[in-house]
């Protein structure tokens, strides 16, 4: 529903033109003529309508959307939260899901060693990048399919399902062969060809928020995936870009209750990217659970000082194990559990 506010000096002819346009698109009109100005409401269901277009018509002051633009992702569409199993765990219920692992898969031994350490510390799902989006063409770009194979081997050894990033539509089938969850990175949140492709896959999707995306846009990107038939989407808050410089990103913790309020989709927090410094990851992780997150994705590396990417924000396995204990205490305090 949209409200069209006409200018004070709008003529009857201009008002009629707006009404005709709205009715042509299949909506009913809801007209309010005041002393000062006329207001036109759109009612019912019609063809998708571009607000810009209406705003450009003669006599129109501005348009105000009354409802949010997403449907399948909205709480109204599905008042109960979305739950689905991943491995032996249920995402979106009382459990809090822990995903952990290195930023990048660097070698067979590195990912196997880290995977075992994460598993022992209490992680449920293994993360690790085989394809890495790097701002420099000269930085390490990931091991590609070789990395996927190592991840699959780590899954076999530890029993942990694997989440990994896919960066282009053409690679979705290949990544699906090896991984359990497809991650859409922040830089690709509005790569619509990619959203389309993962929407047609049958793998759960971890959809990271773009680094300067409105929550509404992020939910619209979820809508892309949902509208192509894939219902298993997890939203992932990973910090937004602001003016602040002490931290790599600003962790928008408000996003956790907002997504819970506006949508039925599970919300995962990424305290590693949201802070960018390992010193602050534990505080941010605890806060995420206190705010209502359904899970976390945390970077863990055996030797962060040798990591090929994101070393500054990775926890050592010992620190991660300590954090799991802390998170369990917080989970209990909010009537959730970490199994």
Give the footprint of its own copies on residues 18-57 (CB under 8 A): 28, 30-32, 34-37, 39, 41, 43-44, 48, 50, 52-57
Query: Least separation, in Å, of the C-beta of 257 and its own copies?
Result: 4
The one segment of 147-155, 174-182, 230-238, 322-330 that binds its own copies by CB under 8 A? 322-330
Phi and psi at residue 304, to the nearest 5°: -55, -30
Query: Least separation, in Å, of the C-beta of 123 and its own copies?
Result: 20
Total binding residues toward its own copies, as defined by CB under 8 A: 110
d(CA 166, CA 133): 10
- Residue pair 109/297 in contact (Cβ under 8 Å)? The answer is no
d(CA 138, CA 16): 59
- Interaction with its own copies in 92-151: which residues (CB under 8 A)? 133-141
If the CB atoms of residues 32 and 337 are measured against its own copies, the closer one turns out to be 32
Query: Least separation, in Å, of the C-beta of 334 and its own copies?
Result: 7
d(CA 9, CA 59): 7
Query: Least separation, in Å, of the C-beta of 157 and its own copies?
Result: 27
- Residue pair 60/54 in contact (Cβ under 8 Å)? The answer is yes
d(CA 271, CA 299): 9
Query: Least separation, in Å, of the C-beta of 26 and its own copies?
Result: 14
If the CB atoms of residues 82 and 191 are measured against its own copies, the closer one turns out to be 191
Sequence-separated (6 or more) residues with CB below 8 Å from residue 247: 239, 274, 275, 276, 277, 280
- How remote is the C-alpha of 249 from its chain's centroid? 15
Phi and psi at residue 286, to the nearest 5°: -60, -45
If the CB atoms of residues 86 and 274 are measured against its own copies, the closer one turns out to be 274
Q: Tell which one of 217, 302, 319, 339 touches its own copies (CB under 8 A).
A: 217
Query: Least separation, in Å, of the C-beta of 138 and its own copies?
Result: 5
308 contacts its own copies (rule: CB under 8 A): yes
- Interaction with its own copies in 66-85: which residues (CB under 8 A)? 66, 69-70
Query: Least separation, in Å, of the C-beta of 146 and its own copies?
Result: 18
If the CB atoms of residues 66 and 156 are measured against its own copies, the closer one turns out to be 66
Residue carrying structure tokens 């660097």: 106
Sequence-separated (6 or more) residues with CB below 8 Å from residue 292: 256, 257, 260, 267, 334
Q: Can you give the three-state secondary structure of 19-86, one letter per residue?
A: HHHHHHCCCEEEEEECCCCEEEEEECCCCCCCHHHHHCCCCEEEEEECCCCCCCCECCCCCCCCCEEE
286 contacts its own copies (rule: CB under 8 A): yes
If the CB atoms of residues 16 and 43 are measured against its own copies, the closer one turns out to be 43
d(CA 119, CA 244): 35
The one segment of 62-70, 117-125, 152-160, 174-182 that binds its own copies by CB under 8 A? 62-70
Q: Tell which one of 99, 205, 307, 315 touches its own copies (CB under 8 A).
A: 307
Query: Least separation, in Å, of the C-beta of 190 and its own copies?
Result: 4
d(CA 293, CA 265): 11
If the CB atoms of residues 161 and 185 are measured against its own copies, the closer one turns out to be 185
Binding mask 240-279 for its own copies (x = CB under 8 A): xxxxxxxx--xxxxx-xxx--xx-----------xx--xx
d(CA 163, CA 51): 38
187 contacts its own copies (rule: CB under 8 A): yes
d(CA 189, CA 177): 22
Q: Tell which one of 160, 263, 310, 323 touches its own copies (CB under 8 A).
A: 310
306 contacts its own copies (rule: CB under 8 A): yes
183 has which bridge partners?
165, 206
């Amino acid at each position: 529903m949209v409200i069209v506010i006409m200018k004070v000096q709008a003529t009857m002819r201009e008002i009629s033109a707006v009404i005709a346009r709205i009715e042509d698109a299949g909506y009913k009109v809801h007209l309010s003529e005041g002393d000062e100005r006329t207001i036109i409401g759109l009612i019912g269901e019609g063809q998708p309508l571009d607000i810009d277009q209406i705003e450009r018509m003669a006599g129109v002051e501005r348009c105000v959307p009354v409802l949010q633009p997403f449907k399948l992702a909205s709480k109204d569409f599905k008042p109960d939260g979305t739950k689905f199993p991943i491995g032996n765990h249920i995402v979106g219920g009382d459990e809090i899901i822990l995903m952990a692992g290195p930023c990048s898969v660097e070698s067979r031994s590195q990912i196997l060693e880290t995977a075992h350490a994460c598993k022992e510390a209490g992680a449920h799902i293994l993360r690790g990048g085989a394809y890495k989006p790097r701002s420099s063409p000269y930085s390490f770009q990931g091991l590609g399919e070789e990395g996927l194979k190592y991840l699959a081997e780590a899954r076999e050894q530890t029993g942990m399902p694997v989440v990994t990033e896919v960066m282009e539509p053409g690679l979705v089938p290949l990544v699906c062969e090896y991984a359990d969850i497809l991650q859409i990175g922040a830089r690709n949140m509005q790569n619509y060809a990619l959203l389309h492709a993962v929407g047609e896959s049958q793998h759960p999707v971890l959809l990271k928020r773009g680094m300067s995306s409105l929550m509404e846009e992020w939910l619209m990107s979820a809508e892309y995936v949902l509208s192509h038939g894939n219902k298993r989407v997890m939203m992932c808050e990973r910090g937004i870009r602001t003016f602040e410089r002490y931290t790599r990103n600003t962790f928008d913790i408000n996003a956790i209750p907002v997504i819970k309020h506006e949508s039925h989709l599970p919300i995962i927090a990424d305290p590693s990217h949201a802070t960018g410094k390992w010193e602050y990851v534990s505080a941010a992780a605890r806060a995420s659970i206190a705010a209502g997150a359904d899970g976390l994705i945390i970077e863990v590396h055996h030797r962060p000082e040798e990591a090929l990417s994101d070393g500054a924000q990775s926890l050592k396995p010992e620190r991660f194990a300590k954090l799991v204990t802390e998170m369990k205490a917080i989970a209990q305090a909010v009537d959730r559990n970490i199994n």
